């Protein structure tokens, strides 16, 4: 067969094949691949996040993308999204708690709590003035002083203790007073008083002697002699009187024979003394032992 005859035979076969009815081929199913779903002989993105078919960690968020998804750790966690670990913000000091607050780590975050003695939300804390608010436990004889976050109790002057219990200091017994030697120390709650003893005057710290004799503060008899002494006075009956000075009575020297009138003189008692009178026939002052007889010529 020549080449031309071969070509002609081939064309006739092809024409006869085209004239015969041919079967219609079935459409092929598309190969959508992972992350896609077949819809109406087409491919549509599969939302793994909505269907829950993702493998993101419980502490991660699933974000759908075309043909897949992405996992991102939530705030407060770190990792690749499929595995997330809690970030300890307190230990890593990335919290925003106040200096006066305590940071407590919680899953995915942290909590701030103001320390005792402070008030606020933990991010801002202000000092509580326990003294001004009367929520301290200082004793009744102590002073409350507010300090940052707390308070201090100090016993008042004249007391001693820990500030919560304060006891009075007896300055008199402990000789902590400044009273004069001539004063009496009287202890009082938290202090003491100085009082000049009888016979002295002043503020108790300085006491001066009172001259009872000069100020008519004595109780000596009107006929007695008053002698001032430190803090007191002495009463003494003068010659011619007898008694304790506060009561003086006339001494009858003539009656008790204590006079010094000579013989030939008569003793005459007087108030506080006596007189010697020459007897009749004698002349003189009554006390001279040598009397002159007026009858001798």
- CATH code of the domain containing 156: 2.10.25.10
- 118 and 145 assigned to the same domain: yes
Residue 139, domain extent: 101-168
5 domain-assigned = no
95 domain-assigned = no
- 245 and 257 assigned to the same domain: no
- 181 and 240 assigned to the same domain: no
pLDDT value of residue 90: 96
- 225 and 185 assigned to the same domain: no
Distance between CA atoms of 278 and 216, rounded to whole angstroms? 42
- 246 and 257 assigned to the same domain: no
Distance between CA atoms of 207 and 230, rounded to whole angstroms? 11
152 domain-assigned = yes
261 domain-assigned = yes
Q: What is the DSSP letter of 27?
A: P
pLDDT value of residue 5: 46
The continuous run of DSSP H or E covering 167 comes out as strand 166-168
- 160 and 106 assigned to the same domain: yes
- 193 and 136 assigned to the same domain: no
User: How many Å is the Cα radius of gyration of the chain?
Assistant: 65
Kindly report the length of the chain: 297
Which CATH number is 285's domain given?
Answer: 2.10.25
31 domain-assigned = no
Instruction: Name the stretches of the chain with pLDDT < 70.
Output: 1-30, 288-297
Reading phi first (left if > 0) and then psi (alpha if -120 to 50, else beta), residue 240 is in left
264 domain-assigned = yes
Rounded to 5 degrees, what are φ and ψ at 208? -115, 150
How many helices (H) does the chain have, and how many strands (E)? 4, 26
Q: Measured at the alpha carbon of residue 18, what is the angle toward residues 14 and 22, in degrees to the nearest 5?
A: 130
User: Of 19, 79, 84, which is closest to residue 58 (Cα–Cα)?
Assistant: 84
pLDDT value of residue 42: 82
105 domain-assigned = yes
Number of domains within the chain: 5
- 163 and 107 assigned to the same domain: yes
- 282 and 268 assigned to the same domain: yes
Evaluate whether 225 touches 214 at the Cβ level (below 8 Å). Answer: no
pLDDT value of residue 210: 97
Distance of CA 88 to the CA centre of its chain: 38
Beta bridge partners of 74: none
13 domain-assigned = no
> Which residues, at least 6 apart from 213, have a Cβ–Cβ distance to it below 8 Å?
220, 226, 227, 228, 233
- 143 and 118 assigned to the same domain: yes
Distance between CA atoms of 57 and 71, rounded to whole angstroms? 8
- 59 and 82 assigned to the same domain: yes
Evaluate whether 184 touches 177 at the Cβ level (below 8 Å). Answer: no
- 150 and 187 assigned to the same domain: no
The continuous run of DSSP H or E covering 275 comes out as strand 273-278
Q: What is the DSSP letter of 12?
A: H
Last residue of a domain, one of 20, 54, 86: 86
User: Of 55, 52, 57, 48, which is closest to residue 79 (Cα–Cα)?
Assistant: 57
């Amino acid at each position: 067969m020549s080449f031309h005859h071969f070509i002609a035979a081939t064309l006739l076969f092809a024409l006869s094949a085209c004239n015969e009815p041919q079967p219609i081929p079935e459409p092929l199913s598309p190969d959508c691949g992972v992350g896609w779903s077949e819809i109406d002989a087409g491919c549509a993105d599969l939302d793994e996040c909505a269907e829950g078919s993702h493998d993101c960690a419980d502490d991660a968020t699933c974000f759908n993308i075309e043909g897949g998804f992405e996992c991102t750790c939530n705030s407060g966690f770190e990792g690749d999204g499929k595995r997330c670990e809690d970030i300890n913000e307190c230990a890593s000091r990335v919290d925003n708690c106040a200096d006066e607050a305590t940071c407590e780590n919680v899953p995915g975050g942290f909590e701030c709590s103001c320390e005792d003695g402070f008030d606020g939300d933990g991010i801002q804390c202000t000092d509580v003035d326990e003294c001004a608010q009367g929520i301290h436990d200082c004793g009744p004889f102590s002073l409350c002083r507010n300090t940052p976050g707390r308070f201090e109790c100090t016993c008042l002057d004249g007391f001693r203790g820990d500030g919560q219990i304060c006891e009075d200091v007896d300055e008199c017994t402990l000789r902590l007073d400044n009273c004069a030697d001539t004063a009496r120390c009287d202890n009082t709650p938290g202090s003491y008083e100085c009082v000049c003893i009888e016979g002295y005057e002043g503020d108790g710290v300085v006491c001066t002697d009172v001259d009872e004799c000069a100020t008519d503060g004595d109780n000596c008899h009107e006929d007695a002699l008053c002698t001032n002494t430190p803090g007191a006075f002495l009463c003494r009956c003068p010659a011619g009187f007898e008694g304790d000075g506060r009561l003086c009575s006339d001494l009858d020297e003539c009656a008790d024979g204590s006079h010094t009138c000579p013989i030939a003189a008569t003793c005459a008692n007087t108030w506080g003394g006596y007189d010697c009178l020459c007897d009749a026939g004698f002349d003189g002052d009554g006390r001279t032992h040598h009397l002159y007889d007026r009858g001798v010529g």
